Chains A and B, each alone.
Chain A
């Protein structure tokens, strides 16, 4: 669209009001108001870059795990949070990714930079197959079929590990070398941190763009009103399968990354609890929210470790060490219930309210737009 002649070229960009937008390209920009947003982004980037120097090795490792989980959680967010298709077997996609990457190394000697995309493709394929039942069934019943997919994958993984034991004489789980990315290797925790942060940034940007494109709108449309979406020309079957495939691709990537991060992979790591933890991430973070998936991943990964640290700080290790796992699980369960009861919009909702409060201060009304940005 051409801007009206009065507005064109009259004022320089830095003098123009950020609220006066003269074309739709600007209206559709991710950050339509430049000034303060740029400052926020700069501070965020600086903080993220400085984190390894502020935190000790332990907490750097924790964030690495959380960031890997965030990629997986974004996958689940697409299928369950945005498209509304309950997936209880997300760990299956992680297992596929992890084993695919490890298998490619073991049999063909392929490095991570090839295995990563390959694991995404494998995850997407399994995801698309796992999504087929969604064309016929919904809700809890669909959840059960995805659970079945996870157990099928576990059964295949066990067979594969058994085959490796008999023919290669290795122990049950597969081991991996220090990842080689072609240009550099990921030796230290800090190398991993920067690599993962950049990769996750790319994934977040890609998912954000998908969400505000035609696919994202049809995902949310299918979640809300499947029939109305179909009557508007949305191919619901295709949207559902695409959602599952994307979920599988991101799950596969997270699986491959964690396999390399731990330098090994074993099928017993991909139990039902892992799937539930991923579900917890998107519920605690806020269903459908991209920020929520990331915050939820950090929360679910860090909380048990924080509880452990707290017990250590309080000097209660001697008394409670035997029950540590039980206490971690109890805290996890209670926060889940708390979020479901009191904060259905999750951490992303809390963040949104906080932001509204600050930007509206000293006025106290809640803006209507808070719901829209989910």
Chain B
């Protein structure tokens, strides 16, 4: 069976600096894979190379067996890579519904004339896609805020809208970049529930960059650990937690030096 997403010996360099060095792993089925590592380990750079925002200087990313090398960012997105950003990156000035409707962009093709007149097939498409978006709104329990401009929402809700927007694309794989950073404990727990529900209802693999080790240990089925751009571990949470290389990367050589872990856990 071909994995949904394959990262194959990807190397990303900026000038003389190697941000990601020969990293390989893959995702398939409905795996929830956490991508962890200290700050500057290359996690976001790796996500960006999957989205096509950065181009790997060598190696390639494959989606369901097809190489994404040289494919434009928007084609990668419509091809099935959904992405939620670290700072939500919502479209301020648009409402929650309109933000989600951007995620249905691919299904709303139409000529300028049909959009300007807004009758017939285009209007039917708009109505049908609105219904799909409403399902996602129900899923994320955003009914109360659906017509609010996103900039007026609390940060926790904004991040939820960011994930909802990515899910509106009906992606084949979902990339989550620190979805829980900046959230309160309560919001994190709500978010964890949504992640499990996404996996249960949509059954799609997720690659999840996360700093909260407690969340990672509780939820992830597999953990990929990066340090200085190199993959140092890949496996079940328990095995990774016991891995001496991981302990060194996170905790330093001396076990008393706990501060580098950053988050509780």
Residues of A whose CB lies within 8 Å of any CB of B are: 1, 23-25, 27-28, 206-207, 209-210, 213-218, 220-221, 223-225, 227-236, 242, 246, 288, 368-369, 371-372, 374
Contact = CB atoms under 8 A, between A and B. Distances in A.
Contact of A235 (B51, B74, B108, B134): B74
Contacts of A227: 53, 73, 89
Interface stretch (B91-99, B183-191, B194-202, B218-226): B91-99
Interface in B81-127: 83, 85, 89-95, 98, 101-103, 105-106, 108-110, 112, 115-118, 122-123, 126-127
B108 A372 contact: no
Contact of B101 (A23, A214, A233, A371): A214
A71 to B, nearest CB: 14
B130 interface: yes
A233 B149 CA distance: 22
Interface of B: 51, 53, 72-74, 77-78, 83, 85, 89-95, 98, 101-103, 105-106, 108-110, 112, 115-118, 122-123, 126-127, 130-131, 134, 147-149, 151-152, 165-166, 169
5 contacts: A213-B118, A217-B105, A218-B105, A231-B85, A234-B102
A209 B114 CA distance: 9
Name A's interface SS: helix
Contacts of A235: 72, 74
A65 B47 CA distance: 53
A223 B94 CA distance: 11
Given A214-B115, A218-B105, A242-B112, A224 B91 contact: yes
A218 B105 CA distance: 8
Contact of A372 (B83, B148, B165): B148
Contact of B91 (A206, A210, A228): A228
Nearest to A245: B112
Contacts of A28: 123, 126-127, 130
Contact of A231 (B53, B98, B106, B149): B53
Contacts of B94: 217, 220-221, 224, 372
A217 B106 CA distance: 12
Nearest to A249: B112
Given A227-B53, A231-B51, A232-B165, A217 B98 contact: yes
Contact of B130 (A27, A220, A223): A27
Given A215-B115, A372-B93, 6 more contacts: A1-B127, A213-B118, A214-B126, A231-B73, A246-B112, A372-B95
Contacts of B131: 1, 24
Given A224-B92, A224-B93, A372-B148, A233 B117 contact: no
Nearest to B101: A217
Nearest to B81: A231
Contacts of A216: 115
Nearest to B133: A24
B105 A230 contact: no
Contact of B152 (A23, A213, A368): A368
B110 A213 contact: yes
Contacts of B166: 232
Contact of B90 (A225, A233, A374): A225
A25 B125 CA distance: 11
Contact of B73 (A1, A206, A224, A230): A230
B118 A368 contact: no
Contacts of B74: 230-236
B102 A217 contact: yes
A293 to B, nearest CB: 16
A288 B115 CA distance: 18
B149 A214 contact: no
Contacts of B169: 232-233
Nearest to A228: B89
B105 A214 contact: yes
